[in-house]
Amino acid sequence: MLKLLLRTRCILLTLCCSFFLPVHAAEFNDLRSSIANLLAVNNKEDNQPAFHIEILTPEKKLADLCSAPDLRLSGRPTRLTGNRSIIARCDNKQQFIQVRVSATGTYWVATKTLAPGETINSTDIQPVTGELDNLPTGLILDAQKITGTTPTRIIQPGQPLTERQLRRHWAVLANRDVDITAPGEGFMIHAKGKALENAAINDTLRIQTRTGQTRIATVTGEGKVTINMAN
């Protein structure tokens, strides 16, 4: 009889464990997925990496966390990966969750030596897919943010491209002469003026006309701008 009771208890304990553990694991998986989605929303790159989340906060400290907390990032770190703090709010209760973030994705490297002042085109870069954890801060994942820019320093072949290494190519330079066009209904005015700031193609900037007026113009090409006569 005693053996039967002990065997029954063991069976019940096994059933209880098998019932509760998967539910708890599922909740943790949901939390990881929610944090990964939060990071993706806050990452402004079009070519999104895949985030992998390890929750560092002990499970017992998350026991009172509601099933669908309102999550937001704490601070503004410059790296995609590494240790992060997540703020979880349930009604009026707020809790910090410590996580470790790793990621895999596609980034871009130089195919040749790139010099300052050189305009980068699509043949100057190539994609590499892999882990992003140990790569430099400010890594650029979207090729469209690289082509048309110019290096601020020498970039060696195979070097990952980051925001600090590049600047936009200025089609118009401050205090330089510009060709102005001002289209109207059935006519086109051509004039000369001076740019008051640096600007890339499609940027708006202030220019000064030969008569001394300051107008807002749009860059259309190298040293060329257009003015909307309706403004």
Residue 2 reports pLDDT greater than 70 = no
Q: Where are the beta strands (DSSP E) in the chain?
A: 50-55, 70-73, 82-90, 93-110, 125-131, 149-151, 166-168, 177-184, 187-195, 204-209, 214-221, 224-226
Range of the domain at 209: 177-226
92 with 35, same domain: the answer is yes
Domain contains 29 = yes
Cα–Cα distance, 27 to 25 (Å, whole number): 5
Q: What is the pLDDT of residues 135-193, one digit of tens each?
A: 998 899 999 889 989 999 999 999 999 999 999 888 899 999 999 999 887 888 899 99
75 with 116, same domain: the answer is no
Residue 71 reports pLDDT greater than 70 = yes
Domain contains 5 = no
Domain contains 7 = no
Which of the residue ranges 31-35, 100-104, 149-153, 204-208 would you say has the lowest mean pLDDT? 31-35
113 with 96, same domain: the answer is no
199 with 160, same domain: the answer is no
130 with 79, same domain: the answer is no
Higher pLDDT, 49 or 6: 49
Distance of CA 98 to the CA centre of its chain: 21
115 with 159, same domain: the answer is yes
145 with 86, same domain: the answer is no
Q: Which CATH number goes with the domain that contains 194?
A: 2.30.30.760
Q: How many domains does one find in the chain? A: 3
Domain contains 2 = no
92 with 118, same domain: the answer is no
119 with 145, same domain: the answer is yes
